[in-house]
Structure 1
Amino acid sequence: MRQPVIIQIESIYYPILAAVGIPANLVTIVILSRGSYGLSKCITRYLVAMAAADLLVLIFEVILYETKDANFPYSFLNYTPICCLNLTLLFASIDSSVWLTVVFTFDRFVSICCQKLQTNYCTEKTATVVIAVVCSLSVLENVPIYFIHEPREIIDNVPWSCNLRSSFYTLPIWVAFLWLETILTPFVPFVLILLLNALTIRHIVLANRVRRGLRGNNAENQNDPEMEKRRKSIILLLAISGSFILLWMVNFLFYICVQFADTQFLDAKYNDPFTIMEQSGYMLRALSCCTNTFIYAVSQSKFRDELKNMIKRPLAPITCLFN
């Protein structure tokens, strides 16, 4: 029997995403960890943490969930307890990735707009504490995920795979949990990122006008390092948060549909528009874990230089032989 189109697309899409995304995030972590990228230690901590969280999403969702289910449906990883644990870590890593994007956006807001708070908040120590708190709360928040699943089937008294309990949509405690999950990820992050970006852009535009006025009529013809620094900061900030919002939008809309329409998660009706919307949202959400590396490469010249050096080093002996 021919598989639905969305399943055929996923069978090709997820392996390619893993093959590209995992090396990209590993390279990003290595380059940023060296400290030669030209960014402050505070920013570097956030970017490394974001890359690590994205890497975990690719491992738990793309490899151990999507790709594994399609190619190895009866491996030991599909025992129900292991499957439930994987789903718990999967959602914890997703929440960590999302909220690290939020706290990075807030850090940039404080750095640019709140000069008095900047000295005490925008430090490596504060970044480390914030990252630890975000990751810990993400894990604690998703512990109930382990208990909302039941075996999809039992073969020779062995529980296989995971399925949402039928009481998930009716029992008040699980309904409240679903609302909490929807509000915390991704509704609140959407609102916070949009608000913080709007305030940051407004502050930069006003500050640039004042600075240009103080420098006189010839300001546009002069090289201003401070304005150039602000321009690069806002490009990086908007690229990261903008790609997050765009790639999460379909998933966000489906979460809203689950709350107000007669639809459910992981429905097997693959020709149903809501199911296609859900699966498309998951694919775009996973893609958001690969984009930051390419954003750095496009927007940051020092990152490109470091990337080129990493590629050249392994090829240097071969080049010498040919020369």
Structure 2
Amino acid sequence: MRSSKALLAPLTWDHLWTSYFFLSANLLTIVTLTRGRCGLSKCISRYLLAMAIADLMVLIAIIISTEIKDMYLPVSFLDYTPVCSFIFVLSVDAIDCSVWLTVAFTVDRFIAICLQKLGAKYCTEKTAMMVIMVVYIFSFTLNIGFYFIFEPAETIDDIPLSCIIKSTFYTSPAWMAYDWLRTILTPFIPFVLISLLNTLTIMHITRATRIRRKLLGSRKYGCPCDPETEKRRKSIILLLTISGSFILLWVVNLVYKVFVIFTDGMLFHGDYSNPLTILGESGFMLQCLSSCTNTVIYALAQNKFRAEIAILLKSPFVLASTFIKFCSK
């Protein structure tokens, strides 16, 4: 049986510093989006901010449950079975939130671009906040079952310590059905929805751009004299980069789940010489990486976002320079 620590695979020092880097990047993203100066609509900003918060939760849960605990708190309350079980639930919940918020953002952009009449009512800040709240509540409710799959690895002075998966998790029909349900909801359905909606959106954008080009008499796609086409182009670039990143980084995990289902492999297996285990660990690593890439995507796709990041990075130096000048007078 595999422990919760093994489920969140230990990181090396290089991985630790990488995690801290992405942690800082997500915090910077949250601050930048909160300022609301990136030229994005409030609806889009709410989705991107919620995704950044979910990504931050993933990194915090993983860092707390592995590196900080092992390096700085080898013996602490984090060793209690209820605590380590809850941390695992939070980490899985955060990953699911990140995935389904990506789906929600894809749906929102599909409606805004392809169904403009409906988009006028649906693509609002109020609707975005409601969808985000539903995603967070639903993800936590769905994953709370993981809290009960663990049992203490040992008991000292009537105190349950560490977490190992119960053997019934692999044999009980109820747990098997629960695992099937989670596998279908994440990542199968999101993978299909994102791929389908992106395809339909691209087809619509291509058709609409062709028609608009004929009406405007322009032969160049994205002509500067056509702000509507430019706006759609930037929106679709942001959508496709976020969605495409999700698909690429989750495809290994998807293949792993398919192998487990059709080969009767053991999920969460701890034999690291087993190719299926290596595939599963690689998939988990990449799905965690998907929680760290959005900042880079925003920076590459949005000029105003890059400008806001530069302002935030320069602000401490500007304040220090101002303070030095003031003191030197």
TM superposition score normalised by structure 1: 0.92
Local SS of the residue matching 1:230: helix
| Residue aligning to 1:292 | 294
Task: Output aligned runs, 1:64-213, within 5 Å.
Answer: 64-68=64-68, 70-71=70-71, 72-213=73-214
Task: Output aligned runs, 1:226-265, within 5 Å.
Answer: 226-265=228-267
Identity of aligned residues (%): 52
In structure 1, what is the Cα distance between the partners aligned to 2:321 and 2:106? 42
The 1:190/1:222 distance shift into structure 2, 3 A limit, reads closer
Post-superposition offset of 1:153: 2.7
| Comparing 81-90 and 12-21, the one that deviates more | 12-21
In structure 1, what is the Cα distance between the partners aligned to 2:14 and 2:251? 19
Post-superposition offset of 1:245: 1.0
Post-superposition offset of 1:13: 4.8
| Residue aligning to 2:278 | 276
Preserved contact between residue 45 and residue 127 of structure 1 (Cα < 8 Å): yes
Preserved contact between residue 11 and residue 70 of structure 1 (Cα < 8 Å): no
Local SS of the residue matching 1:37: coil
In structure 2, what is the Cα distance between the partners aligned to 1:122 and 1:315? 39
What number of residue pairs does the alignment pair up? 316
In structure 1, what is the Cα distance between the partners aligned to 2:89 and 2:177? 18
Post-superposition offset of 1:267: 2.3
Post-superposition offset of 1:155: 3.6
The 1:143/1:220 distance shift into structure 2, 3 A limit, reads closer
RMSD: 2.1
In structure 2, what is the Cα distance between the partners aligned to 1:8 and 1:80? 18
Local SS of the residue matching 1:142: helix
Local SS of the residue matching 2:253: helix
Query: Which one-letter code corresponds to 1:290 in the other structure?
Result: C
Query: Which one-letter code corresponds to 2:115 in the other structure?
Result: C
Local SS of the residue matching 1:314: helix
In structure 2, what is the Cα distance between the partners aligned to 1:305 and 1:220? 26
Post-superposition offset of 1:276: 1.5
Post-superposition offset of 1:92: 1.3
Q: Which runs of 5+ in 2 are unaligned?
A: 1-7
The 1:282/1:73 distance shift into structure 2, 3 A limit, reads farther
| Comparing 263-272 and 136-145, the one that deviates more | 263-272
Q: Which runs of 5+ in 1 are unaligned?
A: 1-6
In structure 2, what is the Cα distance between the partners aligned to 1:279 and 1:167? 22
The 1:9/1:150 distance shift into structure 2, 3 A limit, reads closer
In structure 1, what is the Cα distance between the partners aligned to 2:142 and 2:130? 18
| Residue aligning to 1:25 | 26
Preserved contact between residue 222 and residue 230 of structure 2 (Cα < 8 Å): no
Preserved contact between residue 43 and residue 124 of structure 2 (Cα < 8 Å): yes
In structure 1, what is the Cα distance between the partners aligned to 2:177 and 2:124? 37
Preserved contact between residue 14 and residue 67 of structure 1 (Cα < 8 Å): no
Local SS of the residue matching 1:159: strand
In structure 1, what is the Cα distance between the partners aligned to 2:161 and 2:269? 18
